[in-house]
């Protein structure tokens, strides 16, 4: 078993019309044993920028603390919030810095940039970015998430339809992966509001 699969995870971000959604499962396990069923994988950097961290949970929490610290320094110096593209470059640089003993995590970054244009991206453990215009996935359920998102995604969805699409994609995918699941956590972000919802899924 790969170290990335040790805790199990499922992460997906999807783009809509001037909005985006980011969703994760809620299971924290140690291999096949479930430890917690309310684990948070998605964190807010600021009102229009979120990061989800799949992979090894301890590394994800350590990396998140470093990112919050660096973002607060940026806010103090620049007196503004970081753009999603800038934040993605920061995450990439922090990961690449540790390339000889990496953080075993695969981040998913989603945010609203200039003119409320949605931005999503993911990267590997050493910070190689993968940008997308439709959706990005990460975690142990990524293969089934690719299939579900490929089938369900359509461009320029409004916020409610986007929520429905990402939720169905997540729930159907984690049912095909025994290391992730136990419900879902979805954020839908528009220029004016952030909606957070908890999904009920199969509890096995």
Is the dihedral angle over the CA atoms 110, 67, 187, 10 positive or is it negative?
A: positive
CA distances to 29, 52, 176 from 24, in Å: 14, 8, 15
The domains found in the chain, sorted by start residue, are 3-199 (3.60.20.10)
pLDDT digits (tens, 9 = 90+) for 53-69: 999 999 999 999 999 99
The residues pairing with 10 across neighbouring beta strands, listed in sequence order, are 139
Residue 1 has what pLDDT?
Answer: 84
The pair phi, psi for residue 193, each rounded to 5°, is -150, 160
Q: What percent of the chain has pLDDT over 70?
A: 100
Average pLDDT on 154-165 reads 95
Predicted TM-score (pTM) of the model is 0.94
């Amino acid at each position: 078993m790969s170290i990335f699969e040790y805790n199990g995870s499922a992460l997906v971000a999807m783009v809509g019309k001037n909005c985006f959604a980011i969703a994760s499962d809620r299971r924290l396990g140690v291999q096949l044993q479930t430890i917690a069923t309310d684990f948070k994988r998605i964190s807010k950097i600021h009102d229009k920028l979120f990061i989800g961290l799949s992979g090894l949970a301890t590394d994800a929490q350590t990396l998140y603390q470093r990112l919050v610290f660096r973002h607060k320094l940026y806010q103090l110096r620049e007196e503004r919030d970081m753009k999603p593209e800038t934040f993605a470059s920061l995450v990439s640089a922090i990961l690449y810095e540790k390339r000889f003993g990496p953080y075993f995590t695969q981040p998913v970054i989603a945010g609203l940039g200039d003119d409320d244009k949605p931005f999503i991206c993911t990267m590997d453990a050493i910070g190689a970015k993968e940008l997308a215009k439709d959706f990005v996935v990460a975690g142990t359920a990524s293969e089934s998430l690719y299939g579900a998102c490929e089938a369900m995604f359509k461009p320029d969805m409004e916020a409610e339809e986007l929520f429905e699409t990402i939720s169905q994609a997540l729930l159907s995918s984690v049912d095909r992966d025994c290391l992730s699941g136990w419900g879902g956590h979805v954020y839908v972000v528009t220029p004016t509001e952030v909606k957070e919802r908890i999904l009920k899924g199969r509890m096995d």
